[in-house]
Amino acid sequence: MSGSGSRTEMTLSQAPEFRLAIIAVLVFALMAVLSPDRFLSAQNLTSMAFQFPEFAILALAMTITMTTGGIDLSVVGVANLSAVIAAAILTSLAGPEATGIVAVMWLAVALVASLAVGAAAGFFNGILVTRLGLPPILATLGSGLVFTGFAVAMTGGSAVMGFPDIVSVIGNSTIWFVPVPLILFAVLAIALHILLTRTGFGLRVTMYGANPLAALYAAIDIDRILLRVYVIAGMFSAVAGMVIMSRANSAKADYGSSYLLLAVLIAVLGGVNPYGGYGRVIGVVLAVLSMQFLSSGLNMLQVSNFARELIWGALLLLVMVINTTNWAGLRAGRKPAKTG
Amino acid sequence: MQAPDTPAFVEMTGVTKHYAGVTALDGVDFTVHPGEAICLAGENGSGKSTLIKILSGVEPASDGEIRIGGELMTGHTPRDATAAGVLVIFQDFSLFPNLSVAENIAFANELTEGRRIYSRRHARAVAQRMLHRIGVDIPLNAKLETLPVAHKQLVAICRALACEARLIIMDEPTTALTGKEVTVLLDIIRVLKEQGVAVIFVSHKLAEVLAVSERVVVLRNGKKVAEGDAAEFDAASLTRHMTGRDVAEASPGAFDGSGEMLLSVENLQKQGSFRDISFSMQTGEVLGITGLLGSGRTSLAKALFGLVAPDSGRIVVDGEEVPLGDPIASAEARIGYVPEDRLTEGLFLTQSILRNVAVGRLQEHERNGFLDLRGLVDEAADWLTRLKVKTPSITAPVQSLSGGNQQRVALARWMARAPRLLILNGPSVGVDVGSKAEIHDIIRDLGHQGLGVIVISDDLPELLATCHRILVMKGGAMTDEFAGGKISEDVLSQKLTS
Amino acid sequence: MMSDRWKELLARNEALVALVIVLFCIVATLSDPNFFTVTTLSDLLRASIVLGILAIGCMLVLISGGIDVSFTAVAVSAMYMTTKLSLAVWPDMPWPLIFALSIGFGALLGAINGTFIAIFGLPTLIVTLGTLSVFRGFLLTFVGSDRISALPPDMREFSRMMIARGTTESGDFYALPWSLAALLGVILLTAFILHKTMLGRSIFALGGSVESARRLGIDVRRTQFFVYVYVGALAGLAGILHGSMGRMADPFSLVGLELSVIAAVVLGGARLIGGYGTITGTLLGVALIVLVQNSLIVIGIPSTWQSVTIGALILLGTGLPAYQAKRAAARAG
């Protein structure tokens, strides 16, 4: 029902995704003009494609929880916990010398284990939100600490390394010149888009986010929907954990700690309504691209790493201010004024 | 009526208000004398809210003159109105749930006095004095959120008094009160009037407050259509003035008993809400359940749909027992429920009309996990046409529709699920007069189509116009049963309150 | 069956947290008699100063119905900018001026948050998330990214000033720095604002219902703006205390602590929906977090389990009341 979104009554140019597309193109063009030989080089383009998927996948996890009006602050914790467990399997059971079919088999076991950990962690979050009635922000703040804590306790806080070579395939190889992490991100993004727009589940997710009480009265199985949302977020986080592990060739409890805020930032920048009820994957993808063009272009221009953080934050605030009128409308929409 | 020589406290002359091309208020004259109680009556959209907003400074008038306490007000703000002694008690009371009773009462007063330092002792003294003034006793330290609704209202009245109110405007003051609480409120209003405080009741259900009022003013389509001594009005004449016509619709009469057994409810019980409820109904029957607030009617309605879990009892639909307290199981048993509050419970306001209808039929339109969008759209569009929803586009957000059309969308969602039993809680609350009659037509038609319909309402004409049978609830129990067409509004009204 | 009064008491987070602290101390003392000494107490107190000041600011935001994740960035920025400025302009700057400067920087950054939140009306989480990045990015890009251990002399001097120091008769060493007085001052000032001024009551009112506050004539924007400026000022104070007590201006420190601080505040009973929060509860929450961070090992839990413990405490401490509320709502129908 993609053609029936609540914003289709607006013209294309008013859609937040359209604005984002313009921003993405402008940023790309600007960087290409400022540093044509290096920004447009094949090497830079590939390196960008290797860099962003890990946090972009986390942003997808954030997107689906935010669409319900919730949030998942445990994504990085889940990613690291699942990576640490996968790493334990890869180092202690497979070992760095493993090759060929044995290595592939252990990698498969490790991947399944990490996905299972992600799903279990998400299920735990879902239970906290549905059965205990905790606000998602608190539930996942607490559970995020618990997941990270388990990873710390298992590793004593140090990095786990010594994987079979095959592990680097996930994060560092290409298929027909396309980096594997990018393929993973693309597959997950398309899957999430289809899930949100073409399935009953996805529509229920959005509707619940728009008005939880009305969802209850419409006999939507809210608990099951929310459980599945957090399980999906957990599994996406686990995939991100695998990419991080493979690229770093190790797993550690505190990898990617800056990714949490980045994931929230990208989701909001991508037009996802943090109060729930609206979120489109295309917007999130455009937000990710804008951020990556911007940060790697700035790298080319010898701008320090820290300036990226500054610019990301400024971009978020700018987009929010531009959208202010929209927000006011959305918020008013949730609390309709009483008219006599 | 007040002696003519008493100067008016509020004098509004020729007040007019235009909103983007619509005239909400058209040259209305309105006066209030000290110590006078006035019923300001009108349907939704009649302009009564606009009049109050202008008087209380929330919105400026487009034209006309407003005097409060003899002084000409030009572009006054809510704060100016408060300072002049005009206070509004909104339907939600606008209190702070997390603060104590004392603070809630004293807050506005401390604020208008321009205090910077907050003195708990002073606040308590003010609060105590105000509670004493209306002769009620509420613990000063209690957190407001722990109080029953009626007490919250009294706190709101005290707050107004603490601001030296000379006129208190009460928006729908009795809708959330039980019969006994209304009596208490009316006694307090009498006390206020003796103290020279004027009161305006803004409501579309006025029968209850007529007893303490001196004067009635009726608005319709932004114009004052009637004004006079309260004694000259009764419920029927008020309705006539408000709607501009006699809305007495024909009763469908008693049910002919031609249906099959559809629903039987046996000894349904929930502590503190309702007890020992048993009744049954057939297909094609329209059953009304009525009662005052606090009678348990809404809890029972929710329990029938599984939104409230009864402690014991059985609900059987088409010979099969429905699990209690499980809305999803109830929906699977083909029970539908259209809630009273469309805006917060019934509809997904920001979402499209289409989605609001389709959300009930997602499961049936899933093929291998994917939605058959074409089928969904066609089906939803079909129902919207059948229920005559007027909209330029079914992808417009549902909040862009009028109240009546919104209610039809809520109905369409359940109709699309082909229910056996449809429970309508307050089907025409907040719907304009014209749409109301049409919704009644739809309800009667649902019965003809062989559905069982339960209408939960305290709108007696509505029940009389739609139901074959009316059950009356009082204090959580079923007390009376009447066949349609065999009872008048007055008798029914007596049975409710006696 | 528990009596109602017990239930009521236990339903309050303060009581629950206090109980856990007492239990913790009993177990700790049983397993290590050296735990319950003046030395441990003074160590824990010192460890609570910065966290405590940040938590009180954070609590204020929660009471007003918002949330702030940027205060650690404000703290570290104010501290580092003050240090740099002082070293560049007047290395011998007296410490009161240094402190005032840092508080001023903090208030300024807080005003930026306040502008976006109170004037533009943007959601607080999103704004502070953005400013967290902006403040830190600005600091590291334009101000500097080196750790400075050659602090202005008066800053180091301050950290050596003690209210009391010595050794008890049983030979336990203790030291109470003047920075503790800063925490006390913040507690008193905040308590005064919250309970004795209309501004403070307005903050509670705002958290209870923004719409009602507006209708009553409370200046919602001004109140919100004040909250964020005040929190910024407190963060500036906490930052400079952190720098001077650690005898190093580290632009990478503090950031990352925000979730622990929020955890402490929430454990202490402040609610995310706004309108609720007490200083006592917040301080108890801080005490518990500091205990877990510093003394977990004493009760036989390896310190690597610190995160798990804090996380579990948050889930239990907020989950229990949430579950009770959910059950009560279901019963009421």
Reference C135, options C68, C184, C90; nearest CA is: C68
Q: What pLDDT does A284 receive? A: 93
Q: Which residue of C has its CA nearest to B163?
A: C216
Residue B125 has pLDDT above 90, yes or no: yes
Range from A154-168, B372-386, C154-168 carrying the lowest mean pLDDT: C154-168
Q: Which residue of B has its CA nearest to A9?
A: B396
Tell whether B195 and B282 lie within a shared domain: no
DSSP type of residue C164: E
SS3 content of chain A, % helix, strand, coil (to 5): 75, 0, 20
Which residue in A has a C-alpha nearest to residue C320's C-alpha? A132
Q: Residue A327's pLDDT band (boundaries 50, 70, 90)?
A: very low
- Nearest chain B Cα distance for residue C329, angstroms: 10
* Alpha helices in chain C, H assignment, sequence order: 4-11, 13-31, 38-63, 71-89, 95-114, 124-138, 153-160, 179-196, 198-208, 210-216, 220-246, 258-267, 279-295, 306-332
**pLDDT-based confidence at residue B47 (cuts at 50, 70, 90):** confident
Report chain B residues whose CB lies below 8 A from the CB of A216: 307, 327
Check residue C108 and give its pLDDT: 97
Tens-place pLDDT, residues B76-95: 888 888 888 999 998 888 89
The secondary element (H helix, E strand) that includes residue B338 is strand B335-338
Q: Which of residues 98-157 of B touch C (CB under 8 A)?
A: 98-99, 103, 107-108, 110-112, 115-120
Residue among A268, A260, A306 at smallest CA distance from A284: A268
User: According to the model, what pLDDT value does residue B449 have?
Assistant: 87
**Chain B closest-CA separation from residue C207 CA (Å):** 8
Whether residues B395 and B429 fall in one domain: yes
What's the average model confidence in pLDDT over B324-344? 89
Å between B278 CA and nearest CA of chain A: 24
Pick the last residue of a domain from B211, B243, B275. Answer: B243
For chain A, the structural domain boundaries read 15-33+44-326
Residue to substitute from B302, B359, B368, interface A, most A β-carbons within 10 A: B359
Angle of CA points B187, B172, B189, to nearest 5°: 15
Whole-model pTM: value is 0.85
pLDDT above 70 covers a percentage of chain B that reads 94
Which range, A120-124, B213-217, B319-323, is most confident? A120-124
* Contact: C197, B118; criterion CB under 8 Å: yes
Please indicate whether, in this complex, the C-beta atoms of C318 and A143 are within 8 angstroms of each other. Answer: no
Q: Is the pLDDT of residue A245 over 80?
A: yes
| Cα nearest neighbour of B203 on chain A | A340
Q: Which segments of B90-177 does DSSP mark as H helices, in order?
A: 101-112, 120-133, 149-162
- Average pLDDT of span B415-420: 88
Location of structure tokens 């700790």:
C28
Is C197 in Cβ contact with B116 (below 8 Å)?
A: yes
- ipTM beyond 0.90? no
Q: From chain A, which residues contact B within 8 Å (Cβ)?
A: 1, 3-6, 8-9, 194, 198-200, 203-204, 206-207, 210-211, 213-221, 277-278, 330, 333-334, 336, 338-340
In angstroms, the separation between the Cα of residue C325 and the nearest Cα of chain A is 8
Please check whether residue B414 lies inside any domain of the structure.
yes
B67 with B116, same domain: the answer is yes
Please give the residue of chain B at the shortest CA–CA distance from C219.
B111
Does residue B379 sit at the C interface (CB-CB below 8 Å)?
A: no
Q: Which amino acid is at A12?
A: L
Q: Does B58 reside within a domain? A: yes
B349 touches chain A (CB under 8 A): yes
The answer for residues whose C-beta is within 8 angstroms of residue C39's C-beta and 6 or more apart is: C172, C173, C174
- Residue B246 is predicted with a pLDDT of 59
Instruction: Please indicate, yes or no, if residue B98 is contained in any of the structural domains.
Output: yes
Q: Is B46 at the interface with chain A, CB within 8 A?
A: yes
Nearest CA in chain A to C135: A310
* Helix/strand/coil percentages in chain B, nearest 5: 35, 25, 35
Q: What is the mean pLDDT of residues B446-457?
A: 90
C112 with C231: CB under 8 angstroms? no
Kindly state whether residues B134 and B87 are assigned to the same domain: yes
Q: What is the pLDDT of residue B205?
A: 65
From C333's Cα to the closest Cα of chain B, the distance in A is 5
Please write the tens of the pLDDT for every residue from A248-273. 888 888 888 778 888 988 998 888 88
CA distance B89 to B77: 16
In a domain, B251, yes or no: no
Structure tokens at C156: 């180091």
Query: What count of residues does chain A have?
Result: 340
Structure tokens, B380: 């939803």
Do B287 and B145 fall into the same domain? no
Chain A environment of B327 (Cβ under 8 Å): 216-217, 219
pLDDT, position A6 = 38
Task: Report yes or no on B467 lying in a domain.
Answer: yes
The whole-number pLDDT of residue A337 equals 33
Which of B48, B345, B350 is nearest residue A333 as measured by Cβ atoms? B350
Query: What is the rounded distance in angstroms from the CA atom of residue A299 to the CA atom of residue B189?
Result: 73
Nearest CA to CA, how far is B367 from chain A (Å)? 9
- The CATH number that applies at residue B317 is 3.40.50.300
Do the chains contact at B96 and C197, CB–CB below 8 Å? no
Partner-chain contact A146 C312, CB within 8 Å = yes
B347, B362, B397 ranked by CB distance to A6: nearest: B397
Partner chains of C (3+ C-beta pairs under 8 Å): A, B
Q: What is the pLDDT of residue B180?
A: 78
**Range of B131's domain?**
10-243
**B117·C196 Cβ contact <8 A:** yes
Residue A69: CB atoms within 10 Å: 18
Phi, psi of B155 (to 5 degrees): -60, -40
Query: What pLDDT score does A13 carry?
Result: 53
Closest-approach residue (CA) in chain B for A203: B359
Q: Is the pLDDT of residue C68 over 90?
A: yes
B292/B199 same-domain check: no
- Give the rounded percent of residues in chain C with a pLDDT score beyond 90: 46
Mean pLDDT value across residues A310-336: 65
Mark yes or no for CB contact A313/C137 under 8 Å.
yes
In the predicted model, is pLDDT for residue A328 greater than 70? no
What CA–CA distances, in Å, run from B366 to A303, B372, B373, C271? 51, 6, 9, 41
B355 and B383, same domain (yes or no)? yes
Contact C311 A149 (CB under 8 A): yes
- Across the interface, of A73, A149, A313, the residue whose CB is closest to C306 is A149
Chain B residues with beta carbon closer than 8 angstroms to that of C207: 98
pLDDT of residue C53: 97
Domain A15-33+44-326 sits in CATH at 1.10.3470
The last residue of one of the domains, among B209, B243, B277, is B243
By residue count, chain B amounts to 498
List, in order of start, the domains of chain C with CATH numbers.
42-319 (1.10.3470)
Q: What is the mean pLDDT of residues C104-108?
A: 97
Whether chain C has a CB inside 8 Å of the CB on B362: the answer is: no
Distance from CA of A152 to the nearest CA of C (A): 6
How much of chain C exceeds pLDDT 70, in percent? 96
User: Is C119 in the A-facing interface, judged by CB distances under 8 Å?
Assistant: no
Tens digit of pLDDT for each residue in B357-415? 888 888 888 888 888 888 888 888 888 888 888 777 888 888 888 777 888 898 888 88
Is B4 inside any structural domain? no
Q: What is the pLDDT of residue B6?
A: 73
Q: Answer yes or no: is pLDDT of C6 > 90.
A: no
Which residues of chain B make contact with A12, given a CB cutoff of 8 A? Answer: none
Which of A59-73, B131-145, B329-343 has maximum average pLDDT?
A59-73
Q: Is residue B451 part of a domain?
A: yes
Tell whether B175 and B311 lie within a shared domain: no
Considering A75-84, B178-187, B292-301, B423-432, the range whose residues carry the highest mean pLDDT is A75-84
**Are B90 and C215 a contacting pair at CB < 8 A?**
yes
User: What is the pLDDT confidence band of residue C228, given thresholds at 50, 70 and 90?
Assistant: very high
Q: Is there a contact between B48 and A340 if contact means CB atoms under 8 Å apart?
A: yes
Of A203-217, B245-259, C99-113, C156-170, which gets the smallest average pLDDT? B245-259
**Residue-averaged pLDDT of chain A:** 84
- C240-277 pLDDT per residue, tens: 999 998 888 999 988 878 888 998 998 888 888 899 99
Whole-number pLDDT of residue C139:
94
Q: Which residue of C has its CA nearest to A144?
A: C311
Test mutation, A199, A217, A326, chain B, max B CBs within 10 A:
A217
How many Cβ atoms from other residues are within 10 Å of residue C117's Cβ? 25
The reply to whether residue B107 touches residue C216, judged by beta carbons under 8 angstroms, is yes
B58 touches chain A (CB under 8 A): no
Q: Which residue has the higher pLDDT, C72 or B22?
A: C72
User: Which residues of B fall within a CB distance of 8 Å from A212?
Assistant: none
Q: State the Cα–Cα distance between residues A27 and C32, nearest whole angstrom.
A: 61
Chain C, window 265-284: residues with a beta carbon less than 8 angstroms from a chain A beta carbon: 266, 272-273
Chain A residue with CA closest to C255: the answer is A258
Dihedral in degrees, nearest 10, Cα atoms C234, C235, C236, C239:
130
Looking at residue A80, what is its pLDDT?
Answer: 94
Count Cβ–Cβ pairs < 8 Å, chain B vs chain C. Answer: 69
Query: Above 90 in pLDDT, residue B1?
Result: no
Whether B181 maps to a domain, the answer reads: yes
The amino acid at residue A257 is: S
- Distance from the Cα of B111 to chain C's closest Cα (Å) equals 8
What mean pLDDT do residues B30-45 have? 86
Mean pLDDT of C312-330: 82
B228 and B371 share a domain? no
B interface mutation test: which of C196, C198, C273 has the most B CBs within 10 A? C198
Task: Say yes or no to pLDDT of B466 above 60.
Answer: yes
Give A36's pLDDT tier (boundaries 50, 70, 90).
confident
CB neighbours of residue C9 within 10 Å: 14
Report the domain count for chain B.
2
Beta carbons of B82 and C330 less than 8 Å apart: no
Range name among B109-113, B451-455, C90-94 with the lowest pLDDT average: B109-113
